[in-house]
Amino acid sequence: MIFIEVIFLTFFLLLGPLLGYQFFLSVVSFFAKKRTTFNSELNRKFAFIIPAHNEEKIISKTIYSLSGLIYPKINYDVFVIADNCTDQTAQIARTLGTNVLERTNPDRKGKGYALRWAFDTVLSHKKKYDALIVVDADSLVSGNFLEVMNDYLDRGSRVMQCSDLVLPEPGNWSVEATRIGFLLYNYVKPLGRKVLGLNMGLRGNGMCFSADVLKEIPWQAWSLTEDVEYGLVLLLKGERIDFAPEAEVYAQMPIEASNAETQRSRWEIGRFQIIRSYAPKFFYKAISKGSLTYFDVFVDLITPPFVNMMFMVTMIFSAGLILWLLALLPVMHLLMWGGLLSTGIFYLFIGLYVGGADKALYKSLLRLPKYIFWKLKVYVKALSIGKEDNWIRTTRDSK
């Protein structure tokens, strides 16, 4: 009986602080204030970088979304990076009047290599840009995007990450569950960190870098989650990353869950690679410097996805209930895990409220159990992929 109690207490001490911290960030996010007016002079020059690998089905939508921004068109350009493409991506982009940079290097495949080459190429362009922005080929950008980034640069920021969200797909369980995850991880938690004066991490989509930063600290991330990795490199070098929640980018997720499996598997593989490589570094920095900022990054790195934690908490609580009914576990442990389960539920609903979730998103909560079991399938696929470092393209829906 004591052995069982030790196991329950050990898992509680591992999961409790992590879930409790997420709940704390969601509560703090209530006090965030987003600006609605931006008065900076719209004179900075921006370059949008759209890395694309065989994206002929969707590239036009992304280009169109960048044509109607609240910003002088003379002060921003769009570059599509057709990386090792074998389809019509480059031709479509040229037809739409976009600058196209074609790269063919079968020995160095991957978004990280494409971005480094693109940054070097654009920074040496005859037209000098004040900042470069990365937008994924499957995304739509809010009309105020450049207005917001220009204002942050005017206030002294050098690296910014916007709200990286997902386009709604009501009725589709996999997309809507992903939308919840993005809302919590890419908006609510960063909003809480912003209130506390902590750093934001890079999310890959909607990243903005001043040209000076890319010259001083060239892109040097080649993993499957190269965006997260480069953000960690910047933080280790003392560079601040600011969250710009007023600007938004919405990614189009595969409607068919089977098409999303490769993408999620890549994310999971990359996440484990990053944890192994960078978590010890940030823990050491946090302890040696007594830095709350570095410790926050460390905690963020080792925290499992929310749905994973809630699955574990629910399973352990259920097991505890059975053991308590069999008189094998004191009620104290059951109350502890019940409280932790409630904490996770409160975090979820506070996050949905702060994020302004629509009715469709609340309804999709009923399909979360299906999503959880699908994620287990994704983990199995991730293990089968192994250490693949190439640009594993997300399969697009046929329609």
Residue 380 banded pLDDT, cuts 50, 70, 90: confident
Q: What's the pLDDT score for residue 284? A: 97
Short-list 206, 208, 234, CA closest to 221: 234
Q: Which two tokens stand for residue 101?
A: 């940079």
Short-list 26, 66, 10, 11, CA closest to 344: 26
Q: What's the pLDDT score for residue 170? A: 87
The vertex-223 CA angle with 222 and 224, nearest 5°, equals 125
What share of the chain in percent tops pLDDT 90?
A: 77
- CATH 3.90.550.10 is right for the domain spanning 42-277: yes
**Cα separation of 22 and 317, whole Å?**
19
Q: What's the pLDDT score for residue 37? A: 87
pLDDT at 178 > cutoff 70: yes
The vertex-370 CA angle with 364 and 376, nearest 5°, equals 130
Residue 391 banded pLDDT, cuts 50, 70, 90: low
Helix (H) or strand (E) holding 49: strand 46-52
Q: What's the pLDDT score for residue 394? A: 59
Give residue-wise pLDDT tens across range 324-378.
Answer: 999 999 999 999 999 999 999 999 999 999 999 999 999 999 888 888 888 887 7
**Cα separation of 191 and 207, whole Å?**
16
**Cα separation of 78 and 137, whole Å?**
12
Give residue-wise pLDDT tens across range 134-149.
Answer: 999 999 999 999 999 9
Q: What's the average model confidence in pLDDT over 229-240?
A: 96
Identify the DSSP state of 144: T
Q: What's the average model confidence in pLDDT over 25-42?
A: 92
Give residue-wise pLDDT tens across range 299-316.
Answer: 999 999 999 999 999 999
pLDDT at 389 > cutoff 70: no
Q: What's the pLDDT score for residue 56? A: 94
Q: What's the pLDDT score for residue 388? A: 55
Residue 218 banded pLDDT, cuts 50, 70, 90: very high
Q: Which two tokens stand for residue 325?
A: 């009914």
Short-list 357, 350, 255, CA closest to 32: 350
More confident site: 100 or 260: 100
* Cα atoms in the 13 Å half-sphere on the side-chain side of 161: 25
**Cα separation of 394 and 111, whole Å?**
13
Q: What are the CA-CA distances from residue 142 to residues 80, 86, 216, 274 (Å)?
A: 19, 30, 29, 30
pLDDT at 386 > cutoff 60: no
47 three-class SS = strand
Q: What's the pLDDT score for residue 324? A: 95
Per domain, the residue ranges of the chain are 42-277
Q: How many beta carbons lie within 10 A of that of residue 306, not counting itself?
A: 20
pLDDT at 32 > cutoff 90: yes
Weakest mean pLDDT among 18-27, 85-94, 104-113, 262-271: 262-271
Q: What are the CA-CA distances from residue 311 to residues 7, 9, 314 (Å)?
A: 17, 17, 5
Give residue-wise pLDDT tens across range 278-291.
Answer: 999 999 999 999 99
Q: What's the pLDDT score for residue 384? A: 67
Return contacts of 290-294, CB within 8 angstroms, 24+ apart.
292/198, 293/198, 293/199, 293/235, 294/235
Q: How many beta carbons lie within 10 A of that of residue 389, not counting itself?
A: 18
Q: What's the average model confidence in pLDDT over 235-261?
A: 90
| pTM of the complete model | 0.91
Q: What's the pLDDT score for residue 77? A: 97
Residue 255 banded pLDDT, cuts 50, 70, 90: confident
Q: What is the DSSP string of 325-365?
A: HTT-S-HHHHHHHHHHHHHHHHHHHHHHHHTT--HHHHHGG
Q: Which residues on neighbouring strands pair with residue 248, listed in sequence order?
A: 163
More confident site: 381 or 119: 119
Residue 395 banded pLDDT, cuts 50, 70, 90: low
Give residue-wise pLDDT tens across range 368-379.
Answer: 888 888 888 777
